Amino acid sequence: MTPSLPDLLMGHMIALSTPMPPEATGDYLVGRLGLLAMISILAVQEAERGVDTRVWENKAIRSILQRAGAGAPCEPAEDLTWSALDRENAQLRRALIAAHTSAEDRGDTALGREILGLYHEMAGRRQLVLPPTS
Amino acid sequence: MSLADQLAAYLTRLNGAPTTVENLARIPGGASRETYRYDCVVDGVRRGFILRRDPPGSLIDTDRRQEFLAIRSFAGKDVAAPTVVALEESGAELERPFFIMERVEGGAPASPFQADPYGAHAAAIGERFFSIMGRIAGEPVEGLPILDAIDPPAPEDCWRRELDYWSGVIEADEEHPQPIVRAAIRLLRREPPPPAAKLAVVHGDYRTGNFLHDGAGHIIALLDWEMAHVGDPLEDLAWAMDPLWTQIGDARISGMTPREEAMAIWRKASGLEIDPKAFRWWSLFASVKGQAIWTSSAKEWRDGGMKEPVLALSGWYTARRQDQILAEQLLAWSA
Backbone angles phi, psi at A25, to 5 degrees: -105, -150
- The residue among B317, B322, B328, B333 with the most chain A CBs within 10 A of its CB, best to mutate, is B317
**Nearest C-alpha of chain A: how many angstroms from B144?**
35
Domain that holds residue A36: 5-125
Q: Where does CATH 3.30.200.20 sit in chain B?
A: 3-102
Identify which of A100, A115, A124 has the shortest CB distance to residue B324. A124
HSE-CB at A50 with a 13 A cutoff on CA atoms is: 22
Interchain pair B302, A14: CB under 8 A = no
Give the whole-angstrom CA distance, residue A61 versus residue A10: 30
Q: Count other C-beta atoms under 10 Å from residue A75's C-beta.
A: 8
pLDDT of amino acid A32: 92
From its phi and psi, is residue B194 left (phi > 0), alpha (psi between -120 and 50) or beta? beta
Beta-strand pair B84-88/B211-213: unpaired
Per-window interface: A 89-118 vs B, CB < 8 A: 89-90, 93-94, 96-97, 100-101, 104, 109, 112-113, 115-117
Amino acid at B231: G
Interchain pair A133, B247: CB under 8 A = no
Residue in chain A nearest B21 by alpha carbon? A23
Tell me how many domains chain A contains.
1
Interchain pair A3, B2: CB under 8 A = no
ipTM rounded to 2 decimals:
0.96
Sequence-separated contacts (24+) of A63-68 with Cβ below 8 Å: A64/A96, A64/A99, A64/A114, A64/A115, A64/A118, A65/A92, A65/A95, A65/A96, A65/A99, A67/A111, A67/A114, A68/A99, A68/A102, A68/A103, A68/A111
Does residue A17 form part of some domain? yes
Cα dihedral A32, A34, A37, A38 in deg (nearest 10): -100
Interchain pair B113, A39: CB under 8 A = no
Identify which of A30, A39, A117 has the shortest CB distance to residue B312. A39
pLDDT average per 10 residues of sequence, chain A (134 residues): 89 93 89 94 96 97 95 90 96 98 97 98 95 70
Amino acid at B48: G
Output the CA angle B33-B34-B35, nearest 5 degrees.
Answer: 105
pLDDT of amino acid B335: 87
pLDDT of amino acid B58: 47
Handedness of CA B98, B103, B106, B107 (dihedral sign): negative
Does residue A132 form part of some domain? no
Residue in chain B nearest A18 by alpha carbon? B307
DSSP chain A: --S-HHHHHHHHHHHHHSPPPGGGSHHHHHHHHHHHHHHHHHHHHHHHHHHHHHHHHHHHHHHHHHHTT---SSPPPSS--HHHHHHHHHHHHHHHHHHHHHHHHHT-HHHHHHHHHHHHHHHHHT----PPB-
Does residue A131 form part of some domain? no
Output the CA angle A10-B177-A91, nearest 5 degrees.
Answer: 100
Chain A contacts of B319, Cβ < 8 Å? 1
Backbone angles phi, psi at B104, to 5 degrees: -100, 120
Chain A contacts of B309, Cβ < 8 Å? 11-12, 15, 32, 35-36, 39
Interchain pair A31, B28: CB under 8 A = yes
CATH class name, domain B119-334? alpha beta
B235: three-class secondary structure by DSSP = helix
> Which stretch of DSSP H or E encloses residue B71?
helix B64-73
pLDDT of amino acid B304: 87
Instruction: Inform me whether the C-beta atom of residue A6 falls under 8 Å from chain B C-beta atoms.
Output: no
CB A58 within 8 A of CB A77: yes
Give the whole-angstrom CA distance, residue B52 versus residue B217: 27
Does residue A86 form part of some domain? yes
Report the predicted TM-score, pTM, of the whole model to 2 decimal places: 0.95
Interchain pair B316, A93: CB under 8 A = no
End-to-end CA distance of chain A: 28
**Nearest C-alpha of chain B: how many angstroms from A90?**
6
Residue in chain A nearest B27 by alpha carbon? A28
pLDDT of amino acid B59: 46
> Which residues of chain B, if any, have pLDDT below 50?
58-59
Per-window interface: A 34-53 vs B, CB < 8 A: 35-36, 38-39, 42
Give the whole-angstrom CA distance, residue B219 versus residue B128: 7
Q: Count other C-beta atoms under 10 Å from residue A132's C-beta.
A: 17
pLDDT of amino acid B14: 92
**Nearest C-alpha of chain A: how many angstroms from B98?**
17
Interchain pair A123, B183: CB under 8 A = no
Does domain B3-102 correspond to CATH entry 3.30.1360.30?
no
Does residue A54 form part of some domain? yes
pLDDT of amino acid B92: 81
Backbone angles phi, psi at B22, to 5 degrees: -125, 155
Cβ burial of B297 (10 Å; 0-12, 13-18, 19+) is: buried
Alpha helices in B175-221 (DSSP H): 179-190
Does residue A80 form part of some domain? yes
